[in-house]
Chain A
Amino acid sequence: MTTYAQPLVTDDHRSSVPGGADRWKLGAGPTLLPHRQLDRSGAPKVSLEEISLSYKTSSGERLLALDQIDLKVSPGEFLCIVGPSGCGKSTLLHLIAGLHHPTSGKVLVDDKVVDSPGTDRILIFQELGLFPWLKVGENVEFGMKMKGLSRAERREKTEYYLRLVHLSQFKGSYTHQLSGGMRQRVALARALATEPDVLLMDEPFAALDAQTRDLLHDELERIWAETGRTIIFVTHNVREAVRLGDRVVLLTFRPGRVKREFQIELPRPRHLEDVTVAQTAGEILGELREEINRSLEVEYHDGVKPHVVPGVEA
């Protein structure tokens, strides 16, 4: 494990906020987000134990998508997973979300085995999966409705989370009337509104323009600091991973294995164009490039079809 040491700001504003309902309230969050020291000594929030996943391709052969992945994520950690396309990083999120089952190994959340979807872990899909037949507010309300919250409670929380992502005035709009960045924020609000401990994000900002993405990075970082969620964030963009993550995990190309972990201890808030971010990203990118080359070799020279995830649209 490589550690990028930086001057630490030891004052941890979040450690002073105890767990429980208060965590979710918009506090007087500091304008400068201090670096927090994660408590890695306690029980991990999410732990993957020797996860392997293989599946049958259309031609009948078994393909190993994920190979013996071992990963522990501390409570409140912002973990980024990077890798070339086809390393199974999206699949990994689906496994944690409980939408698919690993061929072998276990996914544990709070030491309990995950075997089905649950509102303690909410996945934000790459395609978002917003419901076009519902208005923005109803989309945000959906998870709470499934949880059986009362109408009044739902309304109050919908207001709160829409305010959090700056979309209050679009409560009554349909999602197709919004821009890409706004839809992204609706998905974020919808996920946050079910108040999951773990937020799983699958390349959420990949399709956005640079300005919108920068804004959403700031917002996500702020929301993360204010709510104290554990976030597992998948991206193919190394700079984005360094910009956001406490730790960056690099996966190898097919089968996906943990190649290396990088501890990112740059002070927050960070920016994509920070020199330190660029430097760190450069080092990780060096390692990633090997994997990308391998993936290109397989995909272009061997004529192997692009990686297909079972039951997931590419």
Chain B
Amino acid sequence: MKRTARFVIFYAALFGLWTLLAELKIWPPYLFPTPWGVGQSLYAGFEDHSFWIAIAVSMRRVLIGYGISVILGMILGLGVASNKFLEQTMGGLLVSLQSLPSICWWPLALLWFGLSQNAILFVVIMGSLLSVTIAMEDGRKQMPKIYGMAGRNLGARGFPLFWYVLLPASLPYIVSGLKQGWAFAWRSLITAEMLYMSLGLGQVLMMGRDLNDMDAVIAVMLLIIAIGYIVDGLVFKGIERRLQHKWGLVPST
């Protein structure tokens, strides 16, 4: 109850402050959009389906890109974790590569894939692949060895050993890395979409800029935040909670 009250009061205050500042008209509305202007923009965007289309296009891209990242990252991470040579060589490279913003790959992606959806996907993958790989590597190392031994002892080997034992055993250790990978994928996607006109939320945002329509810009920003929050707060939290329940773990954070 108390939590809900705090939540409501905080957001009401934030909204009130925004309304007040807009109402004072210190800045012209094209520099400082008003809440109702943004509201109208949101309504109009959903009304003419342009936001729905943008969300659908962006979600499709991020799901494909992130999905590829997860699969590749798991294979890479397992490889690095189970091979001493790879660990000593690739391990350091992966960590140093992570400091590179994924949009730096954009010029190369354009050359390799042309001005196409694949260039965007490439940037998304480069954005989240490293997080997933590093998470998988850490998870594999943190995971108690007993599970692998027990699995082999019960006759599991090769792919079944990975699929039925190593993967589920490492899940609690990699879920935060998967979440981080998602966040990177989402950000990379929006950045790349802003650079390339091809539907998607990033492009709608840039269109607002080109038309000097700051209401639309803020409206799209709110959408981007909302989608990020829904996936992070609902999907990943749900997975974490389920894992904790299954494993009998006390919530860690």
Contact = CB atoms under 8 A, between A and B. Distances in A.
Contacts of B144: 313
B222 to A, nearest CB: 38
Contacts of B153: 97, 99, 117, 122-123, 125, 129
A131 B155 contact: no
A293 interface: no
B155 A132 contact: no
- Residues of A in contact with B, size category: 20 to 34
Interface in A105-150: 116-119, 122-123, 125, 127, 129-134, 142-143, 145-147
A52 interface: no
Interface string B152-186: 11111100100011001101000000000000000
B141 interface: no
Contacts of A311: 145
B195 interface: no
A147 B144 CA distance: 24
- Residues of B in contact with A, size category: 20 to 34
A122 B152 contact: no
A189 B168 CA distance: 22
B9 interface: no
A131 B156 contact: no
Given A99-B149, A176-B247, A133 B156 contact: no
A125 B147 CA distance: 10
Contact of A133 (B146, B150, B157, B246): B246
Given A133-B168, A133-B247, A313 B154 contact: no
Interface of B: 144-147, 149-157, 160, 164-165, 168-169, 171, 243, 246-248
11 contacts: A99-B152, A117-B152, A131-B150, A131-B165, A132-B247, A132-B248, A133-B169, A142-B154, A147-B155, A190-B154, A313-B146
Given A97-B153, A122-B153, A174-B247, 20 more contacts: A116-B157, A117-B153, A117-B157, A118-B155, A119-B155, A123-B153, A125-B149, A125-B153, A129-B149, A131-B147, A132-B246, A132-B248, A133-B168, A133-B169, A143-B154, A147-B155, A176-B247, A177-B248, A190-B154, A194-B154
